[in-house]
Amino acid sequence: MKTRIHVTLKNGVLDPQGKAIHHALESLGFEGVNDVRQGKLIELDLDDSVSDADIEAMCRKLLANMVIENFEIEREAA
Amino acid sequence: MKTRIHVTLKNGVLDPQGKAIHHALESLGFEGVNDVRQGKLIELDLDDSVSDADIEAMCRKLLANMVIENFEIEREAA
For residue range A8-44, list pLDDT tens digits in order: 999 999 999 999 999 999 999 999 999 999 999 999 9
Distances in Å between the alpha carbon of A14 and those of A10, A19, A20, A70?
9, 9, 12, 14
CB-CB neighbours of A10 under 10 Å: 11
Interface ipTM = 0.91
Closest Cα in chain A to B33:
A46
Q: Look at chain B and report how many structural domains it folds into.
A: 1
CATH number at residue B57: 3.30.1280.10
Q: What residues in A contact B40, CB-CB < 8 Å?
A: 38-41
Confidence of residue A78 (pLDDT cuts 50, 70, 90): low
Residue B16's domain spans which residues? 2-75
Beta-carbon separation of A25 and B50 below 8 A: no
Beta-carbon separation of B45 and A36 below 8 A: yes
